[in-house]
Amino acid sequence: MTQPATSHHQQASPKSRTRLGRGLSSLISMSELPIEAEIKPPTSSPEQLVTPQANDHATAGSRAAGAMIQVPIDSIAPNPHQPRRRMNDASLAELAASVRATGLIQPVVVRKVESGYQLIAGERRLRAAKLAGLTTISALLREVDAATQAQMALVENIHREDLNPIDRAQAYRALMSQLGLTQVELAARLGEDRTSIAHYLRLLDLAEPVRNLVRDGKLSLGHAKLLAGVCDILQQQRLAELCVTQELSVRSLERLLAGKQPPPPASKNKPSSAHLQHMEKAIERQLGMRVQLRAASKTKGRLVIHYASLDQFDELLKRMGVRLEE
């Protein structure tokens, strides 16, 4: 069975854009990204993904802060303050295909360092450009110090809808540390609710195995919030595994913690969680899509395949030999 996943092409909600304006735009003016920054699709090869306007900015004499330049991809070092620990391979492949077909809509942001350039913002775009076969990429050159570079990367990623809760929490904590802010001050700076930020920060108290389950999407934010209130680490991990193997809802976990619901009996016929995770990874590598494998017993279960676009869905049907009548 398949379930649609949110595509990276979806537009952020007005509320998200407003919050982003109060955060990232205070560090990098979005007005500095001119209409000319849009990069048209290639006419003969991916390496020609450049507009005449971008070429005008790429002259050696225009490499001042704020200039739009063409940068060799291999000369851009990764941002050491990148808060995103994991990126979905299938999503990157989809973005790379989009880059090959329609070009990059927004340039990456870099700063000059001794060895060349260092990325400030646009990690996914840079990786997708490499996958698409580009050797150069349009970049906005900024003159910032390392502290500001970290802040810009953190703020940009905080407002990404696909940033997992744990990485978001770590980004909040890093921003507070970098800027010396309290939760109240950070909430005001980002235009977010202080209580929400506090809930995310509590997730960092979870045991590492539980944090990994949240990162992998096996536990929801709701599950994580409840588990963060369990002080006994071993019990916390046991409950987390129970939520995954028994597919407990947030409400069921809440009732279980309140003592209103007995724990579901452990099935002796179920495959181990580690075995299921190994099989999930193998299927994901083969399909290039995120999957969820849930076993009810040794002979029954459910396989969920998540597709990120209609093109991916069509490709899945093709590989399964499914033909739909026009």
Tokens linked to 232: 């006994």
**Could you count the other beta carbons within 10 Å of the beta carbon of residue 221?**
16
- Does some domain include residue 171? no
Is 123 a catalytic site residue?
Answer: yes
Please tell me the predicted confidence (pLDDT) of residue 159: 66
- Does some domain include residue 224? yes
Do 71 and 126 reside in the same domain of the chain? Answer: yes
Do 80 and 46 reside in the same domain of the chain? Answer: yes
**Catalytic residue of the set 123, 156, 192, 280:** 123
Do 61 and 132 reside in the same domain of the chain? Answer: yes
Please tell me the predicted confidence (pLDDT) of residue 156: 72
- Does some domain include residue 9? no
Do 126 and 43 reside in the same domain of the chain? Answer: yes
What per-residue string of b and e applies to 47-64 under the rule 16 or more CB within 10 Å gives b?
eebbbebbeebbeeeeee
- Does some domain include residue 244? yes
- Does some domain include residue 183? no
Do 236 and 278 reside in the same domain of the chain? Answer: no
Phi, psi at residue 69, to the nearest 5°? -130, 160
Number of domains in the chain: 3
Do 32 and 102 reside in the same domain of the chain? Answer: yes
Q: Could you list the pLDDT tens digit for every one of the 326 residues in the chain?
A: 444 444 434 444 444 444 433 444 444 433 333 323 333 333 333 333 333 333 444 443 345 567 888 999 999 998 877 666 667 677 788 888 888 888 887 899 998 888 889 898 888 889 999 998 999 999 999 888 776 777 777 777 776 656 789 988 988 898 888 788 899 998 888 788 999 999 999 999 999 999 999 988 889 999 999 999 999 999 999 999 999 888 889 999 999 998 866 665 555 445 556 777 788 888 888 887 778 777 766 677 788 888 777 777 888 888 888 877 65
- Does some domain include residue 230? yes
Do 122 and 229 reside in the same domain of the chain? Answer: no
Dihedral, 47, 49, 55, 58 alpha carbons, nearest 10: -60
Do 243 and 287 reside in the same domain of the chain? Answer: no
Do 251 and 298 reside in the same domain of the chain? Answer: no
21 Cβ contact partners less than 8 Å away, ≥ 6 residues apart: 30
Model confidence, pTM: 0.54
- Does some domain include residue 168? no
| Beta partners for residue 200, in sequence order | none
Do 99 and 133 reside in the same domain of the chain? Answer: yes
Query: Could you tell me the residue range of the domain that residue 246 belongs to?
Result: 207-257
Do 130 and 36 reside in the same domain of the chain? Answer: yes
Please tell me the predicted confidence (pLDDT) of residue 245: 84
| CA dist list (Å): 98 to 30, 94, 104, 139, 140 | 23, 6, 8, 18, 21
Do 49 and 91 reside in the same domain of the chain? Answer: yes
- Does some domain include residue 104? yes
CATH number at 80 reads 3.90.1530.10
Distance CA 159, CA 136 (A): 27
